[in-house]
Chains A and B, each alone.
Chain A
Amino acid sequence: MTRCPAGQAEVEMAELYVKPGNKERGWNDPPQFSYGLQTQVSGHRRSLLTKRVAAPQDGSPRVPTSETSPGPPPMGPPPPSSKAPRSPPVGSVPASGMEPTSFPVESEALMEDVLRPLEQALEDCRGHTRKQVCDDISRRLALLQEQWAGGKLSIPVKKRMAVLVQELSSHRWDAADDIHRSLMVDYVTEVSQWMVGVKRLIAEKRSLFSEEAANEEKSAATAENHTIPGFQQAP
């Protein structure tokens, strides 16, 4: 069987889920929506009916709109399906307790594929970022590695970290940031100790990148003017 890594789109699809609420601690606790579902733009929302029906003015008792036959209700089965089924909605509310179904892709993200780019990104930042911050980030990356190697991280977390690292390497800062946020919202128990380090790393990389870009522009401009910043011009 060929194994292919989960594509980004597939990972994203799998993360539109609904979990049941914590009925042990809260009565009728509502279901919990994943970050992906919560941030979905509600463009498709149908406005539910809000117009009410007035009570009949002439005093007759209200007859229910669905006709009921007098006598005992039919005990037979429901009418069998004859129409084509409509497509099931994504991430629908579970009628009974359901576990979140993770997308059935076989391969797991490799730890090295995630840790190495993160450590590289940290190295890139060492000149630009305060030592203490770098040490703090480094400590948290070590914690991430420890938890990953120790089998403490779930598959969706590992998969999403792989996508995060891809986005970071491609300089798509907002996308990387959004994935970190989605992990903090959906898997806070697993990731809270080290994720803030990844968050900071994204921010530092982004700021380093824009600084470098600005410097390049400046040096390109000054190269045209034949001046070197910081050196005295000969009179």
Chain B
Amino acid sequence: MATYLEFIQQNEERDGVRFSWNVWPSSRLEATRMVVPLACLLTPLKERPDLPPVQYEPVLCSRPTCKAVLNPLCQVDYRAKLWACNFCFQRNQFPPAYGGISEVNQPAELMPQFSTIEYMIQRGAQSPLIFLYVVDTCLEEDDLQALKESLQMSLSLLPPDALVGLITFGRMVQVHELSCEGISKSYVFRGTKDLTAKQIQDMLGLTKPAMPMQQARPVQPQEHPFASTRFLQPVHKIDMNLTDLLGELQRDPWPVTQGKRPLRSTGVALSIAVGLLEGTFPNTGARIMLFTGGPPTQGPGMVVGDELKIPIRSWHDIEKDNARFMKKATKHYEMLANRTAANGHCIDIYACALDQTGLLEMKCCANLTGGYMVMGDSFNTSLFKQTFQRIFTKDFNGDFRMAFGATLDIKTSRELKIAGAIGPCVSLNVKGPCVSENELGVGGTSQWKICGLDPTSTLGIYFEVVNQHNAPIPQGGRGAIQFVTHYQHSSTQRRIRVTTIARNWADVQSQLRHIEAAFDQEAAAVLMARLGVFRAESEEGPDVLRWLDRQLIRLCQKFGQYNKEDPTSFRLSDSFSLYPQFMFHLRRSPFLQVFNNSPDESSYYRHHFARQDLTQSLIMIQPILYSYSFHGPPETIAQWRKAGYQDMPEYENFKHLLQAPLDDAQEILQARFPMPRYINTEHGGSQARFLLSKVNPSQTHNNLYAWGQETGAPILTDDVSLQVFMDHLKKLAVSSAC
């Protein structure tokens, strides 16, 4: 049986998709019995340095309810210049520009190697990118100084024609008017009262009609029809003044008495930012970047009061329904997040503090809009500074990797419907023949909006097979799905990325082995994990674990080879053999275990899990452990290092051994976003606990003497080992009682 590993890898490299099943069960009933749903991880803007965009617009199917894009799966009559849509079978005339095509002169979009292709849209005004900084001034002096410097530095990293704006907040909220004259003015708002979008726009003077365009003068190439406002100015005009303005920012002047928290009006500050952009630049790429050093303590969206003796809510408080402000605050930020997404803008949260800052309540701002969430201890750390720099990383073409205002539109062949998506998106509520009534994730639609994304942003898309049992396999034997992503590239130009894929249908009764061989256990694990984490947001933790366990047992029952009631006979084929250990690690991961993490930390981990690509997601579930071997167990290496052998020239190979993991770590440190923490430790070191908490506790104080040999240090935990987990799993799978 041919291995699908190469097939899976090639498809991921070319199309940015990983399917749980690569041969599809042909009936609805059989598909549900497969336990793992038919689903895929899609990276819409996967980096393709080898794929230059084509300079024309895509050809669409003329049926109004279809509008699929011409792709390699379509049948083409070159003589009659007609093509048949592979989704709805409509016959379409090629546009006049395609008059010269033939079998030997095909347009790129018909060639199989262009299953993924990108189009550049030539028409339409190109609006500049917008960056609106919303800055908390209730910070300690050195933190504020470090943040100010990072913001000043960012002005050198922004493109010259990007628009930039500044709102500062503490007890009051200040919207700074950016002018090139010497005098700096600002509009001050009370931080206690929320305002409607219209009130904000009125108070900022944004509701007057815009400056009339001078019709007589032809539009210069560097101008654009979008007038900048007093609050959002191009970097190339305002950088010197804004550098000074930032340099002069002071800590919030309102005194904070002993035992109190500073009054921080984050809710109103964000509200004003959203309203400002809504009134001036709707439907164009913009980032609201919130920098905060503590929790919101007054006004709408407050997460905790100003009395330090009343701590911010913990998971325990939430469980006991003792989180006073949580519901109301979450509602406030959800309202803002939904408005922002509707306007095509995104909200980033950069939260640097030693205590929680309210990420639990504010997470929807980043999650619904595709904005970033960064959590650190202080703005005066390498973690924040470098993470912030990396937002402005350029790709191989010298463009920013960030993209804006994306809409993802999915079409399926008749036998499939779309159940939903899980990732940094909102629904566009587009109903249609492709939309299933059974929802998984954000469902009830075939279109979603992703306002902020980059080449690693990945969505989980879940499908439903709707073909009736015993209905014949569709002619041609293949099902198809098309992913169409419209977006604003960082060069401000609009583009369309189209990916069209097909997979074989198979009858489960007769071809189960084929279907099994084409199972992608890595993708399946991540897709199930996303479902689990999605559930965990609204269900009780133990229920989610029970659900996960049940699915695992059912999967083993269906696909394991075993004799009934004989656990020792249980075997899984290669394409399933890793799946149980992914589930083992997922169950004990911070995504599903909130014990030992604050609500903010859990929100932070889940935020990143819901948008990373497959490789990174798997690393988050089960970190990869590299072993650099020499002679002797780790305890000896630590002793040799302490003795300083690496500094002696005759033991240079030891020095290289110690260096090798540092070099590999450096490669990861240079690429990962956000910048990770870096722990260099040794056996018995205090920081070793981070490693010990993750590895399989095959040896604990419970079983230390069970095997009768010492193969390493025991881990102090009550968690079961992978071995014990597998033993239980096998017992349950082979039991006829289940």
A and B interact physically: yes
B-binding segment of A103-111, A113-121, A197-205: A197-205
From residue B618, how far is it (CB to closest CB) to chain A in Å?
Answer: 8
With A61-B723, A70-B709, A73-B633 already in contact, the answer to whether A78 and B651 are too (CB < 8 A) is: yes
Within 8 Å by CB of A30, from B659, B663, B669, lies B669
Q: Are B383 and A26 in contact (CB under 8 A)?
A: yes
What's the least CB distance linking B405 to chain A, in Å? Answer: 27
Q: Given A30-B386, A185-B389, A55 and B666 touching (CB < 8 A)?
A: no
Restricting to A184-223, which residues have a CB under 8 Å from any CB of B? Answer: 184-185, 188-189, 192-193, 195-197, 199-200, 203
Majority SS at the chain B contact face: helix
Contact B645–A95 (Cβ < 8 Å): no
- Asked if A93 is at the interface (CB within 8 A of a chain B CB), the reply is yes
The answer for the CA separation of A81 and B152 in the assembled complex, in Å, is 49
A64 touching B711 in the complex, CB below 8 Å, given contacts A48-B664, A55-B722, A73-B635: yes
Q: Are B632 and A74 in contact (CB under 8 A)?
A: yes
Query: When the two chains form their complex, are residues A61 and B698 in contact, meaning their CB atoms are under 8 A apart?
Result: yes
**B-side contacts of A31, CB under 8 Å:** 382, 669, 678
Contact of A193 with B571 in the complex, beta carbons under 8 Å: no
- A8-51 contacts to B, CB under 8 A, are 18-19, 21-22, 25-33, 37-42, 45-46, 48-50
B50 in the interface, Cβ–Cβ < 8 Å?
A: no
Asked if B239 and A200 sit within 8 Å, CB to CB, the answer is: yes
Determine whether the beta carbon of A32 is less than 8 Å from that of B385. yes
- With both chains docked as a complex, state the minimum distance between the C-beta of B378 and any C-beta of chain A, in angstroms: 4
One digit per residue, 1 when the CB lies within 8 angstroms of any chain A CB and 0 when it does not, for chain B 618-650 equals 110010101101111101100110010100011
Nearest residue (CB) in B for A94 is: B662
Of A18, A32, A86, A133, the contact of B656 (CB 8 Å cutoff) = A86
What is the 8 Å Cβ interface bit string for chain B, positions 660-671, against chain A (1 contact, 0 not)? 001111111111
Known contacts A92-B659, A203-B236; decide if A195 and B156 are in contact (CB<8 Å).
Answer: yes
Could you tell me if B240 and A200 are in contact, using CB atoms closer than 8 angstroms?
yes
A52 B381 Cβ-Cβ under 8 A: no
B654 part of interface (Cβ distance < 8 Å): yes
Query: In the complex, what residues of A have CB within 8 A of residue B385's CB?
Result: 32
Q: Would you give the shortest CB distance from A186 to chain B, in whole angstroms?
A: 10
Q: Is the CB of A93 within 8 A of B676?
A: no
For residue A132, which residues in chain B have a CB less than 8 angstroms away from its CB? 180-181
Q: List the B side residues contacting A188 at CB < 8 Å.
A: 149-150, 152-153
Asked whether, in the complex, the Cβ of B679 is within 8 Å of the Cβ of A28, the reply is yes
Name the residue among A40, A188, A197 with the largest chain B CB count within 10 angstroms.
Answer: A188
Residues of A within 8 A of B649 (CB): 81
- A196→B243 CA distance, assembly (Å): 7
Q: Are A89 and B624 in contact (CB under 8 A)?
A: no
Task: For the complex, give the distance between the alpha carbons of A192 and B711 in Å.
Answer: 56
B664 — which chain A residues lie within 8 A by C-beta? Answer: 48
Within 8 A of A (CB), among B650-699: 650-654, 656, 658-659, 662-671, 675-680, 687, 698
Q: Cβ of B711 and Cβ of A68 under 8 Å apart?
A: yes
Contacts of B568 in A (CB 8 A): 59
CB of B703, distance to nearest CB on chain A (Å): 10
**Cα-based distance from A13 to B294 in the complex (angstroms):** 40
Count of chain B residues with a beta carbon within 8 Å of a chain A beta carbon: 93
Q: Which of A47-85 contact B (CB under 8 A)?
A: 48-50, 52, 54-55, 57, 59, 61-66, 68, 70, 73-75, 77-83, 85
> Are B629 and A65 in contact, with the CB atoms below 8 A?
yes
Q: Within B225-243, which residues are at the interface with A (CB < 8 Å)?
A: 236, 239-240, 243
B239 touches A199 (CB 8 A): yes
For A, the interface residue count at a CB cutoff of 8 angstroms equals 73
Q: Which residues of A contact B381 (CB under 8 A)?
A: 21-22, 25-26, 29
Is B578 an interface residue, CB under 8 A from the partner?
A: yes
Residue A160 interfacial (CB < 8 Å): no
Chain A positions within 8 Å of B669 at CB level: 30-31, 33, 93
Which of chain A's residues have a CB closer than 8 A to the CB of B236? 203
In angstroms, Cα B678 to Cα A68, docked, is 29
Contact A77-B645, Cβ < 8 Å, known A21-B382, A25-B381, A30-B669: yes
User: Which chain B positions have C-beta within 8 A of A75?
Assistant: 636, 639
A159 at the interface (CB under 8 A from B): no
Q: Counting CB contacts under 8 A, is B502 at the interface?
A: no
Chain A residues near B675 (CB-CB < 8 A): 30
How many angstroms from the CA of A192 to the CA of B247 in the assembled complex? Answer: 9
- Residues in A with CB closer than 8 Å to B650 are 80-81
- Closest A residue to B671 by beta carbon equals A42
Q: Are B382 and A95 in contact (CB under 8 A)?
A: no
B666 proximity list for chain A (CB < 8 A): 18, 89, 92-93
Contacts of A40 in B (CB 8 A): 670
Chain A: minimal CB distance from B630 (Å):
7
Q: In the complex, how many angstroms separate the beta carbon of B653 from the nearest chain A beta carbon? A: 4
Residues of A within 8 A of B626 (CB): 48-49
Q: Are B726 and A55 in contact (CB under 8 A)?
A: yes
Chain A residues near B380: list those with CB within 8 A.
22, 25
A30 and B677 contacting across the interface, CB-CB below 8 Å: yes
Chain B residues, CB < 8 A from A63: 711
**Residue B581 at the chain A interface, CB threshold 8 Å:** yes
Please state if B653 and A66 are interface contacts (CB–CB under 8 Å): no
> Complex Cα distance A184/B152, Å?
8
Interface string of A121-147 (1 = CB under 8 A from B): 000000000001100110010000000
Residue of A26, A33, A77, A88 near B670 (CB, 8 A) is A33
Residue of B nearest to A30 (CB): B678
| Partner of A180 from B156, B574, B619, B656 at Cβ < 8 Å | B156
B377 touches A50 (CB 8 A): no
Contact with A along B470-501 (1 / 0, CB 8 A): 00000000000000000000000000000000
Shortest Cβ gap from A153 to chain B (Å):
16
B677 and A27 form a contact (CB under 8 A): yes
B677 and A28 contact, CB distance less than 8 A: yes
Between A28, A45, A77, the greatest number of chain B beta carbons within 10 A of the residue's beta carbon is seen for: A28
**Interface assignment of B396: CB less than 8 Å from any CB of chain A:** yes
Q: Does B355 contact A (CB under 8 A)?
A: no
A197 to chain B, nearest CB (A): 7
B631 surroundings in chain A (CB, below 8 A)? 74, 78-79
Decide yes or no: A37 and B635 within 8 Å by CB, A21-B382, A28-B678, A192-B152 being known contacts: no
Chain B residue nearest to A33 in the complex (CB): B670
Which chain A residue lies CB-closest to B154?
A: A184
- For A32, the chain B residues whose CB sits under 8 A away are 382, 385-386
How far, in Å, is B519 (CB) from chain A's closest CB?
Answer: 14
Least CB distance from B387 to A in Å reads 9
**Nearest Cβ in chain A — how far from B258, in angstroms?**
23
A158 CB within 8 Å of chain B: no
- Complex A-B: 24 CB contacts under 8 Å: A30-B383, A33-B670, A42-B671, A49-B624, A52-B624, A54-B578, A57-B577, A59-B568, A65-B627, A73-B632, A74-B632, A75-B636, A78-B630, A78-B651, A83-B653, A85-B656, A89-B659, A95-B659, A95-B662, A132-B180, A181-B157, A184-B157, A185-B157, A188-B152
Q: Which residues of A pack against B, CB within 8 Å? A: 18-19, 21-22, 25-33, 37-42, 45-46, 48-50, 52, 54-55, 57, 59, 61-66, 68, 70, 73-75, 77-83, 85-86, 88-89, 92-93, 95, 132-133, 136-137, 140, 180-181, 184-185, 188-189, 192-193, 195-197, 199-200, 203
Apart from the given pairs A30-B382, A196-B240, 17 other A-B contacts in the complex at a CB distance below 8 Å: A25-B381, A26-B381, A26-B384, A28-B678, A28-B679, A28-B687, A32-B386, A38-B393, A61-B723, A83-B653, A85-B656, A180-B156, A181-B156, A188-B149, A193-B243, A195-B156, A197-B240
Closest 10 CB pairs of A and B: A26-B381, A21-B382, A30-B678, A54-B577, A28-B677, A32-B382, A25-B378, A81-B652, A26-B377, A184-B156
Q: B residues engaging A (CB < 8 A)?
A: 149-150, 152-153, 155-157, 160, 180-181, 236, 239-240, 243, 247, 376-378, 380-386, 389-390, 393-394, 396, 568, 570-572, 574, 577-578, 580-581, 615, 618-619, 622, 624, 626-627, 629-633, 635-636, 639-640, 643, 645, 649-654, 656, 658-659, 662-671, 675-680, 687, 698, 707, 709-712, 722-723, 726-727
